[in-house]
Structure 1
Amino acid sequence: MEWVTGVLAAEDYEVGRQIVQRGVAAVYLIAFASALNQFPALLGERGLLPVPEYLRRAGDRAGPTLFRRGYTDRRLRAVAWTGIVLSALLVLGLPQAGPPWLPLVAFLVLWGLYTSIVNVGQVFYGFGWESLLLEAGFIVAFLGSDEVAPPFLVLIMIRWLVFRLEFGAGMIKMRGDRSWRDLTALDYHHETQPMPNPASRFFHLLPKPLHRVEVAGNHVTQLAVPWLLFAPQPLAGIAALVMILTQGWLVVSGNFAWLNTLTIILAFAAVPDSFYAAVVPAVDPAGSYQPTPLWFTIVVVLAVLVLAYLSRQALVNLFARHQLMNASFNRWHLGNAYGAFGSVTKVRYEVVVEGTLDDAGPDAHWREYGFKGKPGDPARRPRQFAPYHLRLDWMMWFLALGSERGWFTPFLVKLLQADPQTLGLLAEDPFDGARPRYVRARIFLYRFASRREKRETGLWWIREPQGVLVRPASLRAESP
């Protein structure tokens, strides 16, 4: 059976394996750190959407989770810290230095721990990159350790994941907003994306003809290039580099959590070691591998067969007339459908939350709560947070589009209570921990300041009031 394990070995992908294993582990570390910092306030025992209440309602529909028999914030922190420590060990490459089963178990534990979090995360974990991270962690578990050559079948499954991610995003754009088809999408996208970063205004103000070129290049990268991932080398490696370059462009121009970063990491599964040696001849990653154990080969083949079977609905979805975007077809988040920005918002609305210590009359002095990432103070330059994910800030973007889903009223109540956990999610509490008498939410139209407006005013944003979303509300029984 030695010829079988030899055929499945990909000895020219050691650098790619190191990048993929350590990179995916690093993203897991960020994801568990995000859960540690934000989950209790958003979804904990006293959170906006408490997990215990959700589990009572959802029952088995919640999917597999370690919290099935009872959720506590203490257990959540134990899960998060375990994930952080294990992820850090994988980033350092310590499990990979052992036998093949060691990184296999380590990544599967990460996948299980994070599945437990995602399956009770409700709307705050309803993002495509959560399922992407889960599926990536499961597949990467079968890449083996430094003792054996990377399994070629696993590298193919990673490329299949990248293909679904890129091609799915391309197809959802062509089927969705007309602005993608007439090449005008980037006239709006950089300004209206969920959380602009420091460079987003620069990209927005680029000449419109260049925006057309960007959109056309995006279509080529997402609709044509992904097919080359399954071509012989050097075509597969070149295709991967093209996608790495375009995903890097998205990293520079916006805050999309770890979506783009993880895509870049996974694309290295198609870049052979010969590419690195061509740039730096001194690089010679090839080592003397031990023969791949038969048991590991069997495990890899079975895992690939399972993944291929679970991907069948995602394959059909890619070519379906009513394509689903960011959908999981099973409770384990394997074989998912992906896609992003099938529609582009043409104008940017922001919900601004304010409080006052006064009566809610015409002379009340209202003060604005500051969020960490979402636009607020027009004079504040957007900040870079990705690949870290600010979940509350992202939900505020959806709120401005009319999607609330039950969390915003509890959020306002927490502000009225001056809840320390909730205030910890914000950048600025204008009352320094004191309880406001009233809170309200107003809607503003935001746009990036032009170059002239920026020079004259120093403002990054120009905003105009559009109305009231929530009238002044208090914890008192009487109306204001």
Structure 2
Amino acid sequence: MDWFSADGFELARQVLQRGIAAVYLIAFLSAAAQFPALLGEHGLLPVPRYLGWSRARGPTLFSRRYSDRRLLAVAWTGAAVAALLVAGLPQAGAAWLPLLAFLLLWGLYMSIVNVGQTFYSFGWETLLLEAGFMAAFLGSNRVAPPAPMLWLFIWLAFRLEFGAGMIKMRGDRCWRDFTALYYHHETQPMPGPLSWYFHHLPKPLHRVEVLGNHIAQLVMPFLLFAPQPVGSIAAAVVIGTQLWLVISGNFAWLNWLTIIIAFAAVSDRAVEAVLPGPDSLTPGYGPTPVWFTAVVLAAAALLVVLSWWPARNLFSHHQLMNTSFNRWHLGNAYGAFGSITRQRYEIIVEGSLDGTAWREYEFKGKPGDPGRMPRQFAPYHLRLDWLMWFLALGARGENWFVPFLHRLLEADRPTLRLLARDPFDGAAPTYVRARVFHYRYSTWAEKRRTGLWWIRRPAGVLIQPLTLADSTRRRSWLGGWD
């Protein structure tokens, strides 16, 4: 890299721009499918009521008026623009085209996140916003990738990985004694189809997994800044460990977005050395417009200033995890699984017509039926399923969970579409209840004998049987909803 143009990093730019756009496409499609039922006019946490009680977390197109129609217009507009960027059409034009397209994605998705309340409180929301803003300044195919922005993407990868590594070392002894993965594959939020097999790896291999995690998150981030080919090798280690996480669980788009961001440190020459081809990856570029240079340097200066807060947080004894320090979601702190749950509990929701025979509602991603093999959903984000995991950990959820039960008693079709199976086929039950179960993976012997993936036992009752009248009264304690 020279001081501004990075001639040997065309593949990095293509992966960053198209990959980030692909994640935006998934995020907007997820919003169109889930937001109205969760947060819409008649959702579990209606945005109009939220805006009537408090101010949005930051800038949003919905600050003056929210409607489901406006939300869908935002989501489908974002999905269309993201699809064009995945196809590379704006990048084929002048540098201002991808600049405007990515800034539009950033603004549209920020409008959703800032009114998304607990359903949009995940660290990968702010990560996507920050990455999307930065991608706007990578230019088009007509100009060389700007080195200042690639360095800032490497800095983002450093914060993401090193922050996650430090929160683990500070947060839970099991990361320090290398036993974290004795539990994690079983107790993670949403296991995937291979998670059962990962859990049953020999314990020495689990310790090797933890060691690999520490190397990838505490050592490799520093080497991302090293000269080539060391930077590319460090990025390959980060990418490899993230792919391991992809196949061992469902963490929405966190792992995929980390992989994409890590490509900022991968040079074309390193890729050509591993995958030789007849042509160079680097095309011929035209001169970089003066205006584009000025815009990139201004954006880079802003991001450098905003980096002070997450940099200080990285080395703080009271490190914050997944925190945005400003209302624009730029210069954020990241991290995950600072503590590991040793036991798995699940909330099982059941309905009944007569109060005697109970039928279980099945969620799409979270464990329920012990005989159902866990499915792969990532990078798609099942927001209701994730909050059910937090609820089982003891998180406060009465503001959305009681409304959820109320919607089941009404047989509300948008809510039922969030589930994998409605045991009443669209009819309204008379009663619903929520029970707590302890879950553990079956052993190899139990799996062969019974075919079950999980062994579960009752552990308590979260919500006693409710009728529609009961849930309405409980709803009134919470202020009601429309």
Give the alignment's TM-score, normalised by structure 1. 0.97
Are 1:337 and 2:329 counterparts? no
- Count matched residues: 470
Is the 1:442–1:468 Cα contact (8 Å) retained in structure 2? yes
* Counterpart selection for 1:418 from 376, 396, 411: 411
Shift of the 318–6 alpha-carbon distance from structure 1 to 2, 3 Å rule, reads closer
Are 1:93 and 2:85 counterparts? no
Are 1:367 and 2:363 counterparts? no
**Corresponding residue SS for 1:230:** coil
Equivalent position amino acid for 1:397 in 2:
W
* Counterpart selection for 1:393 from 371, 374, 385: 385
Structure 2 residue aligned with 1:460:
453
Shift of 1:167: 0.1
**Corresponding residue SS for 2:224:** helix
Shift of 1:476: 3.0
* In structure 2, distance between residues paired with 1:412 and 1:381: 26
Structure 1 residue aligned with 2:370:
378
Equivalent positions of 1:31-430 (< 5 A) are 31-59=27-55, 61-278=56-273, 279-358=275-354, 360=355, 364-405=356-397, 406-430=399-423
Is the 1:221–1:243 Cα contact (8 Å) retained in structure 2? yes
Equivalent position amino acid for 2:396 in 1:
E
* Counterpart selection for 1:440 from 425, 433, 445: 433
Is the 2:159–2:334 Cα contact (8 Å) retained in structure 1? yes
Is the 2:325–2:331 Cα contact (8 Å) retained in structure 1? yes
Shift of 1:276: 1.9
Shift of 1:6: 6.5
Shift of 1:475: 1.2
Is the 1:12–1:286 Cα contact (8 Å) retained in structure 2? yes
* In structure 2, distance between residues paired with 1:282 and 1:188: 48
* In structure 1, distance between residues paired with 2:335 and 2:258: 12
Is the 1:416–1:475 Cα contact (8 Å) retained in structure 2? yes
Equivalent position amino acid for 1:460 in 2:
W
**Corresponding residue SS for 1:466:** strand
Is the 2:2–2:147 Cα contact (8 Å) retained in structure 1? no
* In structure 2, distance between residues paired with 1:397 and 1:245: 27
Shift of 1:477: 5.4
Equivalent position amino acid for 2:403 in 1:
P
Equivalent position amino acid for 1:306 in 2:
L
* In structure 2, distance between residues paired with 1:57 and 1:163: 38
**Corresponding residue SS for 1:407:** helix
**Corresponding residue SS for 2:54:** helix
Shift of 1:277: 1.4
Shift of 1:229: 1.0
**Corresponding residue SS for 1:367:** strand
Is the 1:277–1:283 Cα contact (8 Å) retained in structure 2? no
Q: Which runs of 5+ in 2 are unaligned?
A: 474-482
Q: Which runs of 5+ in 1 are unaligned?
A: none
Query: CA RMSD of the aligned region, Å?
Result: 1.2
Displaced runs of 4 or more, over 6 A:
none
% identical equivalent positions: 67
Deviations 1:25-75, CA, capped at 9 Å, x for gaps: 00000000000000000000000000001111112x531000011000000
* In structure 2, distance between residues paired with 1:476 and 1:296: 62
* In structure 2, distance between residues paired with 1:172 and 1:392: 26
Structure 2 residue aligned with 1:29:
25
Give the alignment's TM-score, normalised by structure 2. 0.96
